[in-house]
Structure 1
Amino acid sequence: MRAGNQPEHGRQVAIYLLAVFIVVVVLGVAIGLIGSIDHKLKQSAEQQAITFTEQTAGNVADRAYIVQQAIGAFEVQSTDPAAVVPALAGMTKSFGLAGAAFTDMNGEGLDEKGEPFSVSQLTQPETALSRAEESFSNTFQLKDGRHVRMAQRPLYIDEQQVGALFVQIPLSLFSMPVDLDMFDGRGYFLLFDSASGEILVKPTDRTDVPVEDGETIYGFLEKSSQPTDFEGMPAGGGLEALRTAVASGQTGLGVSLIDGKQSYVCVAPVGRGSWSVCNIVPVANVRAEASSVLTAFQAIFLMVVLCFAGVLVITLNAYRKSMTERTVSMKARLYKALSDSLDMAVNLYCPDDGTVTPIVAKAARITGYSMPELISDPSVPDNLRLSDEGRTLLERLRAGQQNEIAHGTFSFTFQGTGEPRWTSYATAPLCYDGKFQVLVALQDVTTEKELEESMKDAMMAAEAANHAKSEFLSRMSHEMRTPLNAIFGMQQVMRMHPGDVEKVDASLYKIGLASDQLLNLINDVLDIAKIESGKMTLSSEPFRLSSLEEHAIAVIGPQCEQKGQTFEVKGAQDEEVFVGDFKRLCQLLINLLTNSVKYTDEGGSIRMTVSVRPVSTALYRCVTFVVADTGIGMSDEFKEHLFEPFMMEGRSNAQGTGLGMPIVKNIVAMMGGYIHVDTAMGQGTTFTIAVNLRVALDSERLEFEQAERVKAEEEAAARGKDAASGEDEGGAAGVGTPALPSSALSDEVRRVASRRVPGRGLGVGSAGTGSSAANADEELLCGARILLAEDNDLNAEIACELLGARGLLLERAQNGQEACDMFDRSPIDYYDAVLMDVQMPLLNGYEATRSIRALPRPDATSVPIVAMSANAFAEDERASAESGMNAHLSKPINVGKVISCLAREVRRRQAGGRGATGGDAEAVE
């Protein structure tokens, strides 16, 4: 019996030994595979930490580059710090800077708030003025606790240094969000100086071990826990390895115990300047997904080992069957684990039988169709609007022609949303289950593709903007140098002939013409800039169409007479009072008429027609202006670009900036009207403009007519005074509009010219009256005491010289506060008027005016206060009125206009008229 049982026992022993051997082998393989997978996942986790740190460094570099580009692109066109303040404020706001300032070569200037700034205030070494060198200071702390670095840059005009730019860059610009979302919101970001190790940007989230001001990265890590095992760093280990990696500009990764957790410590150079970033991320957060996958693998292999033990206990057949079932289950779980961990679709496709074996079944999520539908359904390419590369891929898969490894990208339209998407693919032929199959992997790369496209668009936009800037500067340089050349040339002629009075007078006249041309160019450029930035606003004031016609005749009539042209005006025959922007309408018509004069030869004719018709909207009328000439006309090609800035056809020798027509177009658009151009080469040009203007309400009309009567009475009183003093009404014209010979005017022009509307002194043939009125104004102001508030010494000298020569007595205040003090200390009615600059230190012109008006003395509300400022826009005039000023004069000053304005306000005061109480300041041009 025993002998009979020995073979059976031997077989059992053999089976047990075989089972043990198999179990040992399986365990060994499982442990080895798990170890290999763990190693790979560890490498992947480390690579994620390194990649994220390098991306963070790149983000900091990009921010630093943007700030450096902003500083490097900053230019000035004036040495006046006040003129640079808006640009400083704009740069500070746009880029989140802590502060910015501009100084002249003496080290004095203004910051972005318009407050005084001096290099003597600097706590950092100054290089931009003394050595004309750009520099970045060490980190220092502002009063509000922010840590900043000072950037210095010399500034030039025409290759000559005129000053320097000082910018405070807050290091908080380079901080990361509170939590690093890539790793479950756990981790810290630090920015430090590579050379000194000083921490520049602390973690936004509080660490268990606090980071002190001025502390180095090495000191922080040493306090937290001595770092060890710095893989990928030079030999030396620990902090020394960290120092070596930072010093050599390399990316390094190590493991350290931070805040009680094993954490990756990764450093990477920023690449711009001497900065590096350090990311500290708990290992468990980086490897959270890897741990799940590893646990799944361990569970699977444990179940496999248990299956082996169970099969051996039952029977070999059951064991084999169980093994087969377990293997299938293992594959399913493996595929599921892969599907959960990978953001891509992975499938095996057999061209011979058309079967698809999903490994990671995410094709439907990526494309909207499963992999079997993509390959078998012929309508899919059309439904998806698949690109040619995608169609080719499907055709090669169906035909079994994918015999080599291939990869690429195709685009399609996603069915669910209709949005365009991009997918990258990779195919590899292989033999599996005894059949030829193709491994197909798909991954959604829409985000990456859109980022790439947006970067291309941004680059193209930047190049276009740079080209437009260069083109603009080139045109502006040419247009500004032309009148400047005339000014410099005539100045040299005067120096060569100091005793030739006639030549000096002629040169001064030409210098005046060139100065007017330069001023017009600057005004046009400012108008275009305000229009394009959306800051131009239209004012609403009562006026008559006849005033527009008179203004056009006064300005264009002499030009037509000089060129021997016929100028016809057909008025609207409408004395209705309208409400609108009278100044912009004048600008619009003068631009059109001036163009007609320039591009019409001698002997030609120019016609302006104004008509009014009712519209469906109550209280509104459609006013149509037609300006026609018999000039050279325009080609069809140029007509398409007529309203683009700086566009000139070049068929005429007429000078211009090419800005008049764009301004006309935009004014018409802002008024809600339309403009039509009818032209042909050699056949003249006709502009038709139609705008809807509101008819004044009864209260507005009555107030306007009252103002007309008051103005007419003032003019009549002035003329009567002149007659009483024996003035010659036919004196030489020196101030008013030149009289036009009747040969240059049509009957309609003479009719409109003779129609004098009270309140608008723009008639034709008024030279003698203008001259006597000017004499009366000077006689009235002779000995008048004027308080001049002007902070610029040169401007003050010019004003004192010009006005003093007319008999006025000027006393100067160097700022708004001094002007208030001088007025307050003066006797009652000591000053006859105040000329107030707007931009001044301590108190600006608006604040000073309000302070004077608020003084408890009887002349504080009656004394005329006139703004005399370089701010020349409609909103500046409104601001002057709101502050309590009587009128607004724009620089450069015209002494005739200043005298006329002061005389008018003094007469009002003598007649017991109102002082300025806000909201009624008059703009004088």
Structure 2
Amino acid sequence: MRAKLVVMALATTFVALVTMSISMLVYDLTTFQQNWVDDLTTQAEIVATVSAPAVSFNDPVAARQNLALLRVRPQIQQGAIYGANGAIFAAYAQAVGEQPVFPVRPGRPGYTIEGGRMVVFHPIVENGERVGTVYLSARYRLLDRVASYAIILGGVMLGSLLLAGIVAGSLQLSITRPLQAVTDVARDVMQKRDFSLRVRRAASGEIGTLVDAFNDMLAEIGRRANALQDANRTLEREMAVRQNAEQALLLADRRKDEFLATLAHELRNPLAPIRTGLDIMRLNGGDPAATERARGVMERQLKQMVRLVDDLLDVSRINTGKLTIRREPVELRAVVSNALEIARPFIDAQGHALAVELPAQPVYVLGDATRLAQVLSNLLNNAARYTPRGGHIRLDAQLDADGRLRIRVADDGIGIAPQMLGEIFEMFVQADASLERSNAGLGVGLSLARRLVELHDGTIEASSDGPGKGSAFVVTLPVLQTAGDSVARTLPPAGQGKPHRILLVDDNVDFVNAIGALLRTLGHTVQVCHDGQQALAAGTAFTPETAPDFAFLDIGLPGLNGYDLARALRRMSALAHTVMVAVTGWGQQKDRDLAFEAGFEEHLVKPVSVEQILAILAGHREGVAVADRG
């Protein structure tokens, strides 16, 4: 009975969900296609109507001007007007610089769907005579809509079935136990003919109703009515909670979509100059000045991409409670200097004027200098991003009478609407969501800044007089009365030192070969492998005299992943003293834990620079652990 109850609940829920999902999907796709057909046909009819005089009087300039109005409809990729003789009279393409391909002759009036595009041919009629044809081609993302709809419906179905399974599993015990008691008492009554036996009441609700009816039918009638009222009130409360949760999910889903679109845009922006820099270095290899400029551009753009990824990883670590900070006396000027070093290139690129005013006396706070500099650099970058070119940014700090430090970052930019002040620190929320903004951002900088400030027992507040009137962010932190004694901990310089034997394993051939060549120029002996099996075979050939001092292993290797490879190499006696370093694109705490469990001693997150590798070599050579395992 227990299994049947669970299966019945799941089967009923599944059938209802499948029926609803199919119905909604069919209806949505039908409506979607019909709306596209009506919209594109209407657009073609408008173009035909306004272009009829131009075709009749052989005025291709006017016809092209009419087609150019289609730029307000970015979904329409291209269009053309054909004359009565079937030749192209005027043409239009949405993307400037493209060489679109138009049909040689106009097709039959109507629409067709081909290769993800919807094509419409509409006749041009003047005084009852057909004088030409309008051709429009638009993107028709039916599969994208089906995929999105299917993902949503699949998630809803999976969540509903999971909830139904949990509820059914918990309810079946409350149903089967009283029924078993009723069955046992009924069997005893039949065998012993002892009608004084009673079922002890051990349940409430409908099952309690059944037990009470078995013992005393009349008393159960009143209890049944009370139980029903309680159930109705509970259902009303649950409905209110579900409606609130649904609204929150819809808002979160919309913000997620906006964030993904912005993330794609922000990651593509640095890729374009990096690609151009590579082309410059390839075509102007003999021009050292051009190569150096290209390299500088590529380094700046790469740092921008790394900063975006680091911000996302930091938010993830904070949300999962994995991010920790080092607490030590930190001087305010050092924090501000580090923040300015990070943010000034972007501020200067925007042509802003930056003013900084700090207290004359040294001010110390207890915290993590790197994270506090990250907070201020995020605020400065945010001010520069949302201030029109040539604006003014000010950073000042002062001590309050209550012994707290107030750091204020203000600008004269686009400002913040009053209704946004309460939401500006939420994930993926941005003050300016228009397409015309030149620097979008991901909407995570302020959220990350707030959480880092809270880890330092501080607060952060935003203020603005409204749109177009600038904004200000104030960070408040507790101040140390004295700097105290701090221990200066520094790493030894990452110099070349004595040469090492190094094993590099990575399936990214360009990356690993380039790093290997660079290390060889520094005097190290380097062996490169491109997959796990090749590295394992190389490991068996090592002796204690030829074994590598360091092994940098990629985790996502074909054939044999980095974790299993590290375990296999650890079992080889010749590699007992080899330092294993994990190199991977996964940087969460669980990934670090897995690496250390597999035998790695260090964990580097891609992209990895040669300076990081040299720091590993220098740190271990002096017995200093350079990886933060916290």
Is the TM value for this pair above 0.5?
yes
Structure 2 partner of 1:593 = 380
Q: Name which of 517, 528, 539 aligns with 1:804.
A: 517
Structure 2 partner of 1:788 = 504
Structure 2 partner of 1:872 = 587
Q: CA deviation at 1:595?
A: 1.4
1:812 aligned partner, one-letter code? C
Q: Distance in 2 between matches of 1:856 and 1:498?
A: 46
Q: Where do residues 226-241 of structure 1 align in structure 2 (5 Å cutoff)?
A: none
Q: After superposition, give the CA deviation of every residue in 1:197-240 in whole Å (9 maximum; x if it has no partner).
A: xxxxxxxx9xx9xxxxxxxxxxxxxxxxxxxxxxxxxxxxxxxx
Q: Distance in 2 between matches of 1:605 and 1:289?
A: 78
Q: After superposition, give the CA deviation of every residue in 1:824-846 in whole Å (9 maximum; x if it has no partner).
A: 93334742422134567999867
Structure 2 partner of 1:92 = none
Indicate if the aligned counterparts of 1:864 and 1:906 stay in contact, CA closer than 8 A: no
Indicate if the aligned counterparts of 2:330 and 2:367 stay in contact, CA closer than 8 A: no
Q: After superposition, give the CA deviation of every residue in 1:292-333 in whole Å (9 maximum; x if it has no partner).
A: 7xxxxxxxxxxxxxxxxxxxxxxxxxxxxxxxxxxxxxxxxx
Indicate if the aligned counterparts of 1:179 and 1:186 stay in contact, CA closer than 8 A: no
Q: Where do residues 131-170 of structure 1 align in structure 2 (5 Å cutoff)?
A: none
Q: CA deviation at 1:344?
A: 5.9
Q: Name which of 622, 626, 634 aligns with 2:408.
A: 626
Q: CA deviation at 1:900?
A: 1.7
Q: Name which of 594, 600, 611 aligns with 1:900.
A: 611
Is the aligned partner of 1:185 residue 2:180?
Answer: yes
- Between the two proteins, the alignment pairs up a number of residues equal to 465
RMSD (Å), alpha carbons: 5.8
The one of the two structures with greater contact order (alpha-carbon pairs below 8 A, sep at least 6) is 2
Q: After superposition, give the CA deviation of every residue in 1:5-47 in whole Å (9 maximum; x if it has no partner).
A: xxxxxxxxxxxxxxxxxxxxxxxxxxxxxxxxxxxxxxxxxxx
Indicate if the aligned counterparts of 1:542 and 1:580 stay in contact, CA closer than 8 A: yes
Q: CA deviation at 1:657?
A: 2.0
**Unaligned 5+ residue runs, structure 2?**
23-145, 193-207
Is the aligned partner of 1:584 residue 2:301?
Answer: no
Indicate if the aligned counterparts of 1:867 and 1:888 stay in contact, CA closer than 8 A: yes
Q: Distance in 2 between matches of 1:843 and 1:825?
A: 19
Structure 2 partner of 1:648 = 430
Indicate if the aligned counterparts of 2:551 and 2:580 stay in contact, CA closer than 8 A: yes
Q: CA deviation at 1:487?
A: 3.9
Structure 2 partner of 1:89 = none
Share of identical aligned residues, percent?
18
1:588 aligned partner, one-letter code? V
Q: Distance in 1 between matches of 2:530 and 2:322?
A: 33
SS in 2 for 1:680: coil
Is the aligned partner of 1:914 residue 2:619?
Answer: no
1:480 aligned partner, one-letter code? A
Q: After superposition, give the CA deviation of every residue in 1:366-407 in whole Å (9 maximum; x if it has no partner).
A: 5xxxxxxxxxxxxxxxxxxxxxxxxxxxxxxxxxxxxxxxxx
Q: Where do residues 245-264 of structure 1 align in structure 2 (5 Å cutoff)?
A: none
Structure 2 partner of 1:686 = 472
Relative to the length of structure 2, the TM-score reads: 0.56
Indicate if the aligned counterparts of 1:633 and 1:685 stay in contact, CA closer than 8 A: yes
The 3 A distance-change label for structure 1 pair 788 and 477 is: same
SS in 2 for 1:559: helix
Q: CA deviation at 1:177?
A: 3.8
Q: Where do residues 127-526 of structure 1 align in structure 2 (5 Å cutoff)?
A: 177=172, 180-181=175-176, 184-185=179-180, 339-343=218-222, 444-455=228-239, 457-458=241-242, 460-462=244-246, 464-481=248-265, 483-484=267-268, 487=271, 499=283, 519-526=306-313
Structure 2 partner of 1:59 = 9
Structure 2 partner of 1:130 = none
Indicate if the aligned counterparts of 1:885 and 1:921 stay in contact, CA closer than 8 A: no
Q: Distance in 1 between matches of 2:3 and 2:564?
A: 53
Q: Name which of 584, 588, 606 aligns with 1:891.
A: 606
Q: CA deviation at 1:569?
A: 3.7
The 3 A distance-change label for structure 1 pair 799 and 627 is: same
Q: After superposition, give the CA deviation of every residue in 1:515-550 in whole Å (9 maximum; x if it has no partner).
A: 65555444444444444x443432225463344233
Indicate if the aligned counterparts of 2:532 and 2:561 stay in contact, CA closer than 8 A: yes
Structure 1 partner of 2:341 = 554
Structure 2 partner of 1:836 = 553
Q: After superposition, give the CA deviation of every residue in 1:439-493 in whole Å (9 maximum; x if it has no partner).
A: xxxx852213312541453255245414522441243124414543774798699
Indicate if the aligned counterparts of 2:317 and 2:588 stay in contact, CA closer than 8 A: no
Q: CA deviation at 1:184?
A: 3.6
Q: After superposition, give the CA deviation of every residue in 1:858-915 in whole Å (9 maximum; x if it has no partner).
A: x855x5544322233467668878988665431133xxx3x223333434555xx216
1:868 aligned partner, one-letter code? V
Structure possessing the higher radius of gyration over alpha carbons: 1
Q: After superposition, give the CA deviation of every residue in 1:267-286 in whole Å (9 maximum; x if it has no partner).
A: xxxxxxxxxxxxxxxxxx99
Q: Where do residues 717-728 of structure 1 align in structure 2 (5 Å cutoff)?
A: none
The 3 A distance-change label for structure 1 pair 287 and 605 is: closer
**Unaligned 5+ residue runs, structure 1?**
1-48, 73-155, 189-204, 209-258, 262-284, 293-336, 346-361, 367-442, 616-620, 719-776
1:641 aligned partner, one-letter code? E
Q: Distance in 2 between matches of 1:881 and 1:447?
A: 52
The 3 A distance-change label for structure 1 pair 865 and 690 is: farther
Q: Distance in 2 between matches of 1:552 and 1:605?
A: 17
Relative to the length of structure 1, the TM-score reads: 0.40
Indicate if the aligned counterparts of 2:314 and 2:323 stay in contact, CA closer than 8 A: no
The 3 A distance-change label for structure 1 pair 822 and 494 is: closer
Indicate if the aligned counterparts of 1:549 and 1:569 stay in contact, CA closer than 8 A: no
Indicate if the aligned counterparts of 1:631 and 1:683 stay in contact, CA closer than 8 A: yes
